[in-house]
Amino acid sequence: MLHFQKWKLILVFGIVVAGLLFALPNVFPAATMERMPAWLPHKQVNLGLDLQGGAHLLYQLDEKEMVGDWLNTTRGDVRETLRRARIGYTDLQLNVANRSVSVKIRDAAETDKAYDELRKLAQPVGGNVFSGFSGYDMDVAKDGNDGISLTITDVGLTHRMGAAIQASIETIRRRVDAFGTTEPSIQREGRDRVLVQVPGIQDVERLKKLIGETGKLEFKLVDPSVNAAQVAETKQVPIGDELIYGNPPSGAPPGSPQIPYVLKSQVLVSGQNLVDAQASFDQRTGEPVVTFRFDAAGAKRFAMVTQENVGLPFAIVLDNKVISAPVIREPILGGTGQISGNFTVQEANDLAVLLRSGALPAKLTVIEERTVGASLGADSIESGKKAALMGLALVMIFMLVGYGLFGLFADLALIINIVLIFAVLSLIGATLTLPGIAGIVLTLGIAVDANVLINERIREEIRAGKSPFAAVDAGYSRALITIVDSNVTTLIAVLVLFWLGSGPVRGFAVTLTIGVIASMFTAVTVTRLMVAYWLRWTRPQLIPI
């Protein structure tokens, strides 16, 4: 029926007005919107990398480093497990190439007991809702009469790699957010890669440095019994120690060599216990520093370490590089401290971001880099505008010439459709890309398909001798099923694109999905409302279609 209930009229009018309000910020510059009343929506559509310019970085996770860290942890677990079970052992080694840790049991009679204890280190790896249990992350096997080996399984490596990539994505996102950019795209690519796209970024080198740093913070004791310079020259590092270098002291001439430190291998406190890190200034010297704060467990451990080692140098190590090695003057009981290292203000800020965001599971290496200039993005926007306006003009002219007044109604609905697309994009915070503009242009043609079907159906009803009211009512009612069917099939195809695609393909799918749904509303409901009120006001004897 052409009769509209009052609540339906209010609903349609409300949707259109809300669309206009949410689309409004995209018409004016950001500076103009800041002067608008606070109750008006101010959120604009986010522009993608190809429209705004920015950085495209593809990173690869260092699988060898990740496996090495895992094996080192496993070696420590083996040592602790055998010690707790009071089982003597010798020759505890790891082999990164074979992804294994091996140990010899001192008393062959205790091999079975040791095997049972070490089997507990293997963790089950879950599959999915269809496959269920997939196996264990490590294969524990006897090697001769007194040997036991723990080997990382393929299932375990795949599971650990997936977890490491996910953790890397979350860490990268926290680091990129510190730049204040809008809608960075960070997603997994393949088995061991992460794609980072940051629109609008200016300092790409700083971004690469901030993302590429592993951010692994460790606190270790300096071995005071060893001459670091001599060890650095002979490369003969005592057992239980390690040789690590640090930057030259403040005031050293440019090109000065790095300072060697011989540190105890044991990590006394790690950055995993950090809950906050902020850039600040030293109250005595005024130099930029980074203040940090531990959680309860870290604060307790830090207090105990500083109590037991008063008077000894305490090295702060970031990514296997000594930042500073101050002497512990007194116990630090509050769980807070500061890191100084001849920083600039920006370096202190970046270090604070690294520590707050947490460490990466392994090193990330850039294997592909592209930078899109802002001028190229502006050219893309201008080309997209021209294409959209040309398509809109041609479609509107076609409808107006082909269907007269009813074509005008369809043109008005088409404009409302575009308004709703930008309103929804702004509301959900979606990113508009160049393929997304292509989706909008395609929507311009799809949106009037429904009106073409309706208008042709009305013509058939008029030829059959029906009155204007009956012809219009039958045209909308009988064309509705066909319109719904055609749009649903389009939506299915677009949703598959969104599900299986990535990047530009998803941008195209998002705008086309919003456009198709909006067209079903505007082409059927909005134009029907226009036609219904036109019929009531004019009571025509013939329909100009």
Backbone angles phi, psi at 366, to 5 degrees: -75, 120
Cβ neighbour number for residue 145 with a 10 Å cutoff: 10
By the 8 A CB rule, do 53 and 437 touch?
Answer: no
Strand partners, 339: 290
| Predicted pLDDT at 45 | 83
Alpha carbon distance 11, 388 (integer Å): 29
> Would you state the pLDDT for residue 420?
93
Yes or no: say if 119 and 136 are a contact pair by the CB < 8 Å rule: no
Q: Is the dihedral of CA 180, 185, 188, 193 positive or negative?
A: negative
Q: What is the pLDDT of residue 1?
A: 47
The type of residue at 105 is: I
- Eight-class DSSP state of 525: I
pLDDT digits (tens, 9 = 90+) for 462-517: 888 888 888 888 888 888 888 888 889 889 998 888 888 766 788 888 899 999 99
Q: Is the pLDDT of residue 362 over 70?
A: yes
Q: Nearest Cα to 317, choosing from 175, 208, 222, 206?
A: 222
- Structure tokens belonging to residue 222: 């300096």
Choose the weakest-confidence range: 29-33, 56-60, 184-188, 341-345: 29-33
Structure tokens at 87: 């089982």
Whole-number pLDDT of residue 131: 45
Give the least confident one: 44-53, 216-225, 273-282, 509-518. Answer: 44-53
Percent of the chain scored above 70 by pLDDT?
94
pLDDT at 352 over 90: no
Decide if pLDDT at 151 tops 90: yes
Is a pLDDT exceeding 50 seen at residue 421? Answer: yes
Provide the token pair at 137.
């992350």
Cα maximum dimension of the chain: 108
Distance CA 87, CA 82 (A): 5
CB 425 within 8 A of CB 43: no
3-state secondary structure of 100: strand
Indicate the residue type of 522. T
| Separation CA 216–CA 107 (nearest Å) | 39
**How many whole angstroms separate alpha carbon 454 and alpha carbon 473?**
10
Tens digit of pLDDT for each residue in 218-247? 889 898 888 888 888 888 888 888 999 887
pTM: 0.65
Average pLDDT over residues 301-325: 86
